[in-house]
Structure 1
Amino acid sequence: MWGNNLGCSPLVKIAMHSSESFRRTKIVATIGPASSNPAILREMILQGATTLRLNFSHGDHDLHRRNIRLIRQTAMDLGIQVAILQDLQGPKIRLGKFAEGSITLRSGDPFVLTSKPILGSQERSWVTYDKLAQEVPEGATILLDDGRVEMRVEAVDPEAGELFCRTIVGGTLSDNKGVNFPGVRLSIRAVTEKDKEDLYFGLNQGVDWVALSFVRDPSDVLELRELMAAVGKRVPIIVKIEKHEAIQQLPQILALSDGVMVARGDLGVELPAEEVPILQKRIIAMANCLGIPVITATQMLDSMAHSPRPTRAEISDVANAILDGTDAVMLSNETAVGKYPVEAVATMARIAVRIERDYFSPIYVDRRQHLRTLTLQELSQNNGSPGGNGSPRPKTLVTDSISRAVGEIAQELDAVAVMTLTKTGATARNVSRFRPRTPILAVTPHVEVARQLQLVWGVRPLLVMDLPTTRQTFQAAINVAQEEGLLKDGDLVVLSAGTLPGVSGSTDLIKVEVVKAVVAKGRGFGKGTVSGPARILRSSLDASKITAGDILVARATDANYVEAIKQAAGVITEEDGASSHAAVIGLRLGVPVLVGVKDATRLIRDGAIVTLDPEKGTVTSGADGLGF
């Protein structure tokens, strides 16, 4: 097992025996000037931020490199796995700079937008798109600064590269404000040259997720994946749905993706704002069906950028996203440039914990199931495919049936946790897809997978070394969970894994296990785990008590114990040393032995069923039930 310096799970010291202590919804927090301080970042993670977003629309590579190092070091110091999400800028079209820094337009004012780099004035401004006058037609609506200023194109001069516009809704425009062309299809690609440079930087820095901005069609996702493959990388991709073209091909885009972000800011500019809540529910339902994580983003607690408390409407917004089935909720300005970054994360976490109390109420379950049914029909019609490979999905898979059954069995048995073994994260994601009531402990040997799972609903990653057998790996994971206070003696755990090691999506095994407490520890000799009734021998006169299959427990042994050792399944002694009588005779006879077990004759009850594991050097209560 790997030590705590690598971390195992968020809030590892809190057990999962109370619904209050386990938050299923993940929190994405954006790093910026307000949160790049080590103390602030530490508190944000402790308050519940599980994924940290780096916005590559701002800052240079030196700044992002420093922030990545800070995040990794802070997470390691805390012993918590934290994912880093690289958010590429994408082809955001913007105004240039103004000579006076800003201008104010009134309704009815004429204004010229040009593709020529000029310093802006009260009459005209540069727009950072070369094909502006070739692709934006007369009569088109143009929205600037997230829709705060609106213009209509009255005439086009393709040769001069200019649009002659009339201001419909006036307001103030300043340097580098965004420009949107709702309903106009532009030929600009989703991945710009800047994005490519940023992508390669992020891949070299080991980011855990890459978010692709302004996706319009499936080819955008394929292009980004090909760029990664060209440098031998395969980092999961989150598509940001913020263009009207993307809505028209949503099933096909999501089928090729590893995650999705409902980017409500630009989406609300591209489309009528009243359409966004319906689209949010549709995107979340589709992501749930496909088994990919979905992030709901933009202005969730926006007022907390300048206020220590959110508005009631913002609380309702977060609550409804959670009840819709989102995997994660995101903070942007609130933590990047706001006055109260730690309070924003803490508030988000409190809202999530409270709302999750009612997450499984029949009214909300029925609503999600109804949306799921409609979405599955849409996916079937559009040939959408869960799993992000773009191929048609069979109606029923063994993996799906097992993943659903795991949650149902755990609920029926009132299990404390579902524990899955996963090399790629696929098993844990698939179990999460069915939204079980029971917390999911995802056991993986890969640190990058553990981090990526910090974006998946209901999953708490455990980083455990890959051992030769499934049984050994599960036992090691249970030991880690016990050490971290996640499980205790007597807890019921439902185990799930694939019998084809290393094959993604091969989940086909379910096992129910009762957690056994570690009664004592010592130094082991021999091989094989053995279980049986403990027999406490106070002296060699008690040796006749031993029958075949018993576990012999004594302060020490000598020649008078040899016949008893031959009968025993295992031997435990308080006396230590590789040259001790028990160790030497046990090795000679092929009997597993544990020596140096302090107070063994007092701690172990005579007749109690115990398990002796010489490889781990442990004595646990109960029989070895992990019979894989």
Structure 2
Amino acid sequence: MRTKIVATIGPASNSKEKLKALAEAGVSVFRLNFSHGGASDFVNIIKYIREVEEELGRPITIMQDLSGPKIRLGVVPENTIQVSKGMRLLLGPSARRVAELPYLPFDHDVILESLEPGDRMVLADGGLQFIVRERRSDGLVLLEADNAGLVTSRKGLALPGKATKVRALTGKDKKDLADGLQLGVDAVAISYVQTADDVREAKALIAAAGRHVPVVVKLERQSAVDNLAEILQETDIVMVARGDLGVECPLPQLPALQKRIISACNKASKPVIVATQMLLSMVNSPAPTRAETTDVANAVLDGADCVMLSEETAMGNFPVETVRYMRKITNEAEKLLLNHRKLEEPDGDKGIPEFLAFSACLLADKAHAQAIVSHSLSGGSARQVSARRPPQRIYALTPDPVTIKALNFVWGITPVFVDKPEAEPSHLIRAEEFIHGSPDFKANDCAVITAGQLKGSSATPRGTNLVKIYWK
């Protein structure tokens, strides 16, 4: 299971039996969507996942997905408004009512005040598009429809390419985050991120709650893509959330954008998830379309660490079958990836960790090693090895309970928890003992170990600083 599968839990998959079947089919990370519930709705689900984790004897990661500031229209008095191309409408607060033109209630003052002539406004996930024509002296905004369709109450609204002052974490998100951390989630995804400040705010709240879990940034806004380099310095994991991102940018540009984001994450050794409509037809069908099969495979070939299922496992008729199909597709794509991909030397401006990982992969190839065993407290060295996409299995040993769950997002890694690390302080000896005790290694099998040297002068650097070829 090199490419990790993230599955969203919902009515179709929230029983212990289904959760276990999904994990057995290949799920490493379960996503809890807090847009459709609060902490009380997930208490039993988390309990079931922990029981399944214990029964299967491997780490399973729970990712809390915060809803974020989803921008919506208010309640349309007419229930529906039939819009034709070129039609003019007014946008303004719900408390106002005007009879001269059809009226769209909108109670986000900060956004309303930021609208300027020429801005594009999109409703219903891209189904309806408007152009801002005028900011009137009475505070209302004149819109002109760019296409035809129906407007109904509470429709989602997006402003493609326009940065706003709306922060990623709402009051609801902050409460949900505190509740989720108390319930024991292993990772937190934040929605509608625009800048690195949004990531820093989330990390500060997590630290204030006395926890340390990885933050997943969902790339849904053009402004986030524009700030990707700075965001990558702060975030732990990135999600290419193609639903809202496909509204923010022209759809024909989305495939190239996905490739650029994945490439940037690979270079930064940050895990990247590709999400949205990957096997959507399997909500109602026991098999995917040809296009969906190709989409999942291409995500793997592009360098994705994880592929994610949403409606397919949350409310679909075939949740377990969908995961099994996705695993078959990723397995085939990985064969192609490993047959054609060559180990690439890190850029010259990279540091010692990147070159140590590269050296380990080179040695593994030359020695025909069965695996690379990386001992790391933070998981950083294992992520560096994974970023090179070696054909060998990667075992990541760590005594840190947070790291063991975070590694479930990383391509090619089998996380191994080091119990009672105080019994053997040497990272190298721990790795050697793991190889000797693991049935995955036969006598005379070769492994390449990366670890930290604990002894030496005070100048000895902390972290991974040695590579060793080892035979069982």
Question: Quick one: which of 421, 424, 431 aligns to 1:468?
Answer: 424
Q: Is the 8 A contact 1:133 1:158 kept in 2?
A: no
Aligned pairs for 1:513-524 within 5 A: 513-515=470-472
Please say if 1:233 is aligned against 2:211: yes
TM-score, normalisation: structure 2: 0.91
Q: 2:394 corresponds to which residue?
A: 440
Q: Matches of 1:505 and 1:302 in 2, distance apart?
A: 46
Q: Is the 8 A contact 1:115 1:132 kept in 2?
A: no
Question: Quick one: which of 260, 268, 287 aligns to 1:309?
Answer: 287
Assess, with a 3 A threshold, how the Cα gap between structure 1 residues 504 and 190 changes in structure 2: closer, same or farther: farther
Q: 1:383 corresponds to which residue?
A: none
Aligned pairs for 1:147-546 within 5 A: 147-157=126-136, 159-160=138-139, 162-362=140-340, 364-365=341-342, 395-465=349-419, 466=421, 467-470=423-426, 472-482=429-439, 486-500=440-454, 506-515=463-472
Q: Is the 8 A contact 2:161 2:221 kept in 1?
A: no
Please say if 1:131 is aligned against 2:131: no
**Secondary structure at 2:135 match in 1:** strand
What letter is aligned with 1:487?
Answer: F
Deviation at 1:98, TM superposition (A): 4.6
Deviation at 1:40, TM superposition (A): 1.5
Q: Matches of 2:87 and 2:166 in 1, distance apart?
A: 29
Q: Matches of 1:291 and 1:195 in 2, distance apart?
A: 28
What letter is aligned with 1:281?
Answer: K
Q: Is the 8 A contact 2:76 2:105 kept in 1?
A: no
**Secondary structure at 1:361 match in 2:** helix
**Secondary structure at 2:121 match in 1:** strand
Q: Residues 104-158 of structure 1, C-alpha deviation per residue, up to 9 Å, x if partnerless?
A: 4333444333333699x99334335222431112332211111011122233346
Q: Matches of 1:40 and 1:176 in 2, distance apart?
A: 33
Q: Residues 277-332 of structure 1, C-alpha deviation per residue, up to 9 Å, x if partnerless?
A: 11111111111111110011111111112211111111111111111111111111
Deviation at 1:504, TM superposition (A): 9.6
Q: Is the 8 A contact 1:143 1:149 kept in 2?
A: yes
Assess, with a 3 A threshold, how the Cα gap between structure 1 residues 194 and 414 changes in structure 2: closer, same or farther: same
Question: Quick one: which of 8, 18, 29 aligns to 1:51?
Answer: 29
**Secondary structure at 2:438 match in 1:** helix
Assess, with a 3 A threshold, how the Cα gap between structure 1 residues 167 and 397 changes in structure 2: closer, same or farther: closer
Name whichever structure is richer in helix by fraction.
Answer: 2
Deviation at 1:475, TM superposition (A): 4.2
Assess, with a 3 A threshold, how the Cα gap between structure 1 residues 294 and 504 changes in structure 2: closer, same or farther: farther
Name the Cα RMSD after superposition: 2.6
Q: Matches of 1:132 and 1:157 in 2, distance apart?
A: 15
Gaps of at least 5 residues in structure 2 are none
Q: Is the 8 A contact 1:262 1:283 kept in 2?
A: yes
What letter is aligned with 2:114?
Answer: E
Greater relative contact order (CA < 8 Å, ≥ 6 in sequence): 2
Q: Residues 87-116 of structure 1, C-alpha deviation per residue, up to 9 Å, x if partnerless?
A: 111111012345676554333444333333
How many residues are aligned here? 464
Q: Is the 8 A contact 1:118 1:125 kept in 2?
A: no
Q: 1:381 corresponds to which residue?
A: none
Find the structure with the greater CA-based Rg: 1
What letter is aligned with 1:416?
Answer: Q
**Secondary structure at 2:109 match in 1:** coil
Deviation at 1:234, TM superposition (A): 2.3
Q: Is the 8 A contact 2:15 2:45 kept in 1?
A: no
Deviation at 1:181, TM superposition (A): 0.9
Aligned pairs for 1:3-82 within 5 A: 23-82=1-60
Q: Matches of 2:207 and 2:138 in 1, distance apart?
A: 40
Deviation at 1:477, TM superposition (A): 2.0
Assess, with a 3 A threshold, how the Cα gap between structure 1 residues 189 and 345 changes in structure 2: closer, same or farther: same
Q: Is the 8 A contact 2:158 2:248 kept in 1?
A: yes
Deviation at 1:488, TM superposition (A): 2.7
Q: Matches of 2:413 and 2:79 in 1, distance apart?
A: 48
Aligned pairs for 1:594-609 within 5 A: none
Q: Matches of 1:154 and 1:194 in 2, distance apart?
A: 34
**Secondary structure at 2:414 match in 1:** strand
Q: Is the 8 A contact 1:328 1:455 kept in 2?
A: yes
Q: Residues 477-498 of structure 1, C-alpha deviation per residue, up to 9 Å, x if partnerless?
A: 235522xxx2233322222201
* Comparing 473-482 and 307-316, the one that deviates more: 473-482
Gaps of at least 5 residues in structure 1 are 1-22, 377-393, 516-628
Q: Is the 8 A contact 1:284 1:294 kept in 2?
A: yes
What letter is aligned with 2:253?
Answer: E
Deviation at 1:433, TM superposition (A): 1.8
What letter is aligned with 1:62?
Answer: S
**Secondary structure at 2:143 match in 1:** strand
Q: Is the 8 A contact 2:163 2:194 kept in 1?
A: no
Assess, with a 3 A threshold, how the Cα gap between structure 1 residues 99 and 64 changes in structure 2: closer, same or farther: farther
Please say if 1:141 is aligned against 2:97: no
Deviation at 1:220, TM superposition (A): 1.6
Q: Is the 8 A contact 1:426 1:505 kept in 2?
A: no
